[in-house]
Amino acid sequence: MHVKAISISDRKGIRKNNIASGELLAGFGLAGDAHGGDWHRQVSLLAQESIETMRAGGLDVVAGNFAENITTKGIDLTTLPVGTHLMIGETELVVSQLGKICHHRCAIYHQAGDCVMPREGLFAVVRKGGIIRVGDEIRILEERSTTGAVIGTAESLKVCSGVIREAVMSRWAPAFIRVDLLNAEGNNLCQLLDDLSSRQGIDRVIVYDPEGRHTFGIAGYLGEAILAGRPAATIISHCRTTTAIARL
């Protein structure tokens, strides 16, 4: 299992350019890449095997064309649970998201004719930085970190995001906190909860709802999940104040 390619771009939504080596920065991502930052999708990974499948289907694509930072070889990324630790050379990553939900077809889709990242790619945060090079060995560690997510409106999280982050980190110390936004109507709550619990396997999800608008939506989702027999490994909490988070 090794690094097949490393790629960066100075803008999002475009194909990335291959580089022979790069620097992973702890808490940020790949130096010089537009996707780096203080969030849970700092680095993206896609298997060379996935790209070869696309090529076999007639697409003219190579490593970096799906905007992945690290193209891997010899590892089935789709089997790695969120929270898994990976070593690349002397650096360390923590898997933070499996695939993604695409709400519209970006430039990559139109350039390549399809995009495999939403189905078979994954994202990670950088726990330990350093230089990575093409050909570096990739090791899967036995360690798995606690993971957390916060759901709320852009307005409510803009006001209280720092306080919420501090409360969640001090209470559970997750490897990362991903933030998912409710749309203006708030009708994507069940979709977000289903993805975070059923697909991502996030340990703790906080729905921050100061106005109490989503009480029945959460109850309905939990009721349907129980009836459907879905696993209840994810703990979902409904909080109307930041103080309530600290008391969970």
Averaged pLDDT of the chain: 88
| Cβ contact 180:151 at 8 Å | yes
pLDDT tens digit sequence for 191-201: 899 899 888 99
Domain ranges of the chain: 2-144, 148-247
pLDDT-derived band at 150, boundaries 50, 70, 90: very high
Q: What mean pLDDT comes out for the span 124-135?
A: 97
Fold of the CATH domain 148-247: Rossmann fold (3.40.50)
Residue 39, pLDDT score: 92
- Cα 193 to Cα 121: distance, rounded to the nearest angstrom: 20
Residue 107, pLDDT score: 59
CATH code for 2-144? Answer: 2.40.33.20
- Cα 237 to Cα 123: distance, rounded to the nearest angstrom: 25
Residue 53, pLDDT score: 87
Q: What percent of the chain has pLDDT over 70?
A: 92
| Cβ contact 36:42 at 8 Å | yes
pTM: 0.88
Q: What mean pLDDT comes out for the span 62-86?
A: 94
Residues 6+ apart with CB under 8 A from 177: 40, 148, 149, 150, 165, 168, 169
Residue 114, pLDDT score: 66
pLDDT-derived band at 230, boundaries 50, 70, 90: low
Helix, coil or strand: residue 222:
helix
